Structure formats: C-alpha cells, structure tokens
A and B are shown apart, each in its own frame.
Chain A
Amino acid sequence: MQPLVEATDLTKRFGDFTAVDSIGFSVASGEVFGFLGPNGAGKSSTMRMIGAVSPVTSGRLRVFGLDPATDGRRIRSRLGVVPQDDSLDMELSVEENLYIYGRYYDLPRREIRARIEELIDFAQLGERRTSRVDPLSGGMKRRLTIARGLINRPDLLLLDEPTTGLDPQARHVLWDRLYRLKQDGVTQIITTHYMDEAEQLCDRLVIMDRGRIVAGGSPRSLIETHSTREVLEVRFPVGELEAAGPTLQKTADRVELLADRALLYTSDADSALGEVHRLGLRPESALVRRSTLEDVFLKLTGRTLVD
C-alpha cells in the first residue's frame, strides 16, 4: 500500500540556517509515527512542510501521494492539524470553535452539527460546550484543539508537541484520547521531546537532532539496538562524581557521566551495583531501571533530550 507520507532528502532552510537537513522517512496508513528530539531539532519545521503550510526548500515530499507545492489545498483538506499553541478563538464558545473550523473544510452545516456532538463527547467537554474558551484549563483547550483537528475526519492527524505545558494528569487524559484514536485506525504523526510520550504512543519513530534523523524504528527496537537492557543510576555527594568516574568505567559496558549523576549501562544492573560497592565506592543513592528512549538519545547525540 502507498505510504501516506513519503520524504526523501527533505530539506528546509531559513537563510543560512538549515532547520531540516536532508531527511527521509515514510508513514504508513494506520500507524502512529513520531518525531522525537529536543527543541530546535527540526521537528516542527518538518510537520509544517507535511501540513502544506511551509514550502519545501529541496528534496521530495509526498503527502497522500500529492505534492504540497502544487496540491496544498487538497492535502490540507484531508489533514487534521493540532498545533502546539492551541490557536483557538478565545472569545468564542467550544461549539463555535468547532463549527467555524468545520466550515473552513467546507462541510455542510448539518453535518458539522452532528460531528460536534461526537467530538464534544470525545473531548469530554460536554458541560463546557457553550462556555467561552478563554477560561478553560490547558488540558481542556488542548482536547478541544484535538477535537477541532478531527472535524473533517482526517486521513492523517498531525500533532505538534501535544502535551507540552500540561500537568501530568492532563497528559494522561490526553494520551488516553490519542490511544483511542489509534484504535479507531486514525493515522497520527506526533512530535515530542518527551521520551515517555514517544514510548507510550508511537508504533515507530525517528530520533531527530540538529535537523537530521539519527536513528529510527519501534521504541523497543531502538532501545534494543542502541542501549542495554538495564541502567543503574548512581548519585554521589557534590564533587565526588568526577573522582569516581574512572572507577565506575570498570563496572559497566558503558558509563555516561551527567552533571548530577552517572548512568551505568549493563545487562545486569544489580550485579553492577555490587561491583560498585566492591570497588569501594559509596554512592549517595542508586536506582535500577530499564533503558528508555532517553538513553538511546544520550547514546546517539551525547546530550539529554530536555535540558
């Protein structure tokens, strides 16, 4: 089957600055595809090119098999877009925001009315349907923005940093909504700089850094390929971490020294901890955990995702 989105050597430049540097990827129907990377990695620029609002500098991009440069309007009519800043009309009600957006997609009024019922239900905004948007909480606004992006029953939903700025509880509510969409077969492309979000939601993802794709695959395969099964995190009193560094190197396959702690990559973290103690080191605290995408990112770029 033809991929919904296909990019080869896709590049975006702003003057001398290269925001997206010759990347290639494809997104299949029904999957949730992620762009994981820190701020400024080129994720949003890529999304805007897919969304046919930002012209491609060079390379090839096809969305639904169409070229955004010539078929922007047709592409946009089949997309749902959830921007990072909700860009809702604050003076209008929840319903009115949905209604106006439905009209932008040229939907008949009666059809929009029916969809508003479904979407308000989906966004769990039933009690607030006639209230103005302005006083709604961040989580409610974001759910409304997602509902708005679904008004045209899109073939592909673009979500740019869907949970940035939300509190943990609101994030989980949102993840639940996005998971439902996935179960309903809605193809989604998500950008995020949260590795837990990428792990939770994405079937497949690419890790971006400085405009380039540094790795790609399912969350599990990325972790298996680029990291060890387990990680031992050890903290030392201020100033002692550097002194402990050379000794720690002997206890694991790979060791990352961060500002405040050391990460020891190993298949067996418990025995690594035993080794740390045997070598006479006394960490302030020790934590055994499984590898995450954060570790993959650190391995591939030498930097942390959120700094």
Chain B
Amino acid sequence: MQVPGVLRVVEADAIAYRRVWKGSAFSSFVTPALFLVAMGLGLGSLVDRGAGAPGFEGLSYVSFLAPGLLVASAMQSGAAQGSFPVIAGMKWTRTYHSVVASPVGTGGLLGGHFIWSGLRVLMVSVIFGAVAAALGAISPVAVLALAPIGILIGLATVAPMTAFTANRDNTEALTAVFRFGITPMYLFSGAFFPITQLPDWLQAVATLTPLWHAVELARRVALGYDSALPAWQHVGYLVLLIVVGAAMAYRLFARRLNV
C-alpha cells in the first residue's frame, strides 16, 4: 500500500460524493434533529418526571440521549459505508476491479475506503453534535470530544462490515445484518436507556456490541460520568474490532480481486 494510492481513492470517493452531498448533508442534519426533538424533548418531557436512571439523577433526558445517539448515528453511517458501496464496487459497477488493475492496488483501495468512510462518519458526528449543541442538549466543547469517538465507532463498524460484504453477491445477507444486527444494536446498546434496564442475559449481549463501548465513552466525555470500564478498555475493544475487521477485509478483498 502506498500513501498516494490511498489518497487517490479518497479523492475519487469525494468526487463521486459531490453528486449527492446536498441530500446526504441534509439528511445528516434532519435525522438527528428529528430524533432529538421527538425522543429527547418530546418523550423526554415524560421521562424527566420520573426518578431518573441510577447514576443519572437530575440529568434531562435529552442530555442523556444526545451523546449516545450521536455515536449510534456514527455506527449506522459506518454500517452503510461498509455495505452498499462495497458490494457496488465488487459486483454492480465493478469499479474495484479497475482500481486494483491500476497502480493503486488492493491495499490502496481498502485504505482509501476506510479513510473516506472515516471522513463521512466524522461529518455525520459533527453535524449531529452541532444540532445537539444548538438544542442545548450538550455543550459545544463536548462536540469536539465526541467526534473522535464517532470516528472510532464508525470505523469499528465499517471494518467488520466491509469484511462481511467483501464476498457477498447479493444484498440478502446485508439486509439481514441491518435488520437483525444493526437495528437491534442501535436500540439496545444503551443509547436510549441504560442497559441495566435489560434482563441480565441481554445485558451480557449488549456489552459485547461495539456501540455499547462507544456509548459508555461518549457519556464519559460529554457528561463526565464514569464509564462501566476504564476508558482504555472501551477504546481498546473498538480498536481491536478495527484491526481485526481490516485484516479480514484485506484478505477477502485480495481473495476476490486478486485471483
């Protein structure tokens, strides 16, 4: 893998993105706005009449929700980046095959894909953070602290998802992953409510999801609460997913593109 090759792939992705950036940026803005207003402020007004979750007494629901929802959105964005663009490049337009035939090669292709995905996830996180800050849910400084966690969870989703998609020939399995993996993770990894509300066995499952680790980190940096584990362990788990996912993705890319 060579640095210029990686950057050329990022440049190509950016050029392709120019065609859709307005719609994409708009939905990155509207989706969190809708969620924060409906769930955070609307539903939150009911939640705030209760006692509050253990450890979160006195915190408004929208402030509790915003950091977790930010990283959950980053996770969703990462899942999207690791799925449809990958199957398109492999199978639909087959542009991956022409990238690999150029000096960029397989390593450059994959490296560029991850960097571009990281940038997209960063965009989603910052826009979300800006909306949340504008609604007063989090402080503007917290947005800066949350952005790296957004990138971390985004890549921890992109890398395994890219590996999973690398040898798919249709979207059936991808649809299943979204339906039975991404959506439940989005809902039950502690973004909307503490996982202590879940039955014990489900709590155990939740602690294995990358999103739970990101949510713990997000609340730690945005709200100053203690995370369930030391921060380095949460970060380490996400980094491990990135490294293992990227290594698997590389193997599977080479197996499909360099045969």
Please list the residues of chain A having a beta carbon within 8 angstroms of any beta carbon in chain B. 14, 48, 51, 53-55, 72-74, 76-77, 79, 81, 83, 85, 87-92, 96, 99-101, 103-106, 148
Chain B residue at smallest Cβ distance from A145: B98
The residues of B that contact A76 with a CB separation of less than 8 Å are 101-103, 105
Report if B49 contacts A (CB, 8 A): no
The residues of B that contact A92 with a CB separation of less than 8 Å are 15-16, 19
Instruction: Give the residue among B11, B100, B101, B259 with the most A Cβ atoms within 10 A.
Output: B101
Chain B: interface residue count, which band? Answer: 20 to 34
Contact of B93 among A81, A88, A103 (CB under 8 A): A88
Q: Which 7 A-B pairs have the closest CB atoms?
A: A104-B102, A87-B94, A77-B103, A81-B101, A87-B98, A100-B12, A103-B8
Please list the residues of chain B having a beta carbon within 8 angstroms of any beta carbon in chain A. 2, 4-5, 8-9, 11-12, 15-16, 19, 93-95, 97-105, 257-259
Q: How many A-B residue pairs have CB under 8 A?
A: 73
The residues of A that contact B102 with a CB separation of less than 8 Å are 76-77, 81, 101, 104-105
Within the assembled complex, what's the spacing in Å between the Cα atoms of A90 and B98?
13
Would A89 and B93 count as touching, CB distance under 8 A? yes
The residues of A that contact B257 with a CB separation of less than 8 Å are 53
Would A53 and B100 count as touching, CB distance under 8 A? yes
Within the assembled complex, what's the spacing in Å between the Cα atoms of A99 and B16?
12
Within the assembled complex, what's the spacing in Å between the Cα atoms of A104 and B11?
10
Within the assembled complex, what's the spacing in Å between the Cα atoms of A79 and B98?
12
Within the assembled complex, what's the spacing in Å between the Cα atoms of A206 and B12?
38
15 contacts between A and B (CB under 8 A): A51-B101, A53-B101, A53-B257, A53-B258, A55-B258, A81-B101, A81-B102, A83-B101, A85-B97, A87-B93, A87-B98, A89-B93, A91-B19, A101-B98, A104-B5
How close is B110's CB to chain A, nearest CB, in angstroms?
Answer: 14
Within the assembled complex, what's the spacing in Å between the Cα atoms of A99 and B15?
10
Would B105 and A72 count as touching, CB distance under 8 A? yes
Chain A residue at smallest Cβ distance from B254: A55
Known: A53-B257, A92-B16, A104-B5. A85 touches B103 (CB 8 A): no
Would B104 and A96 count as touching, CB distance under 8 A? no
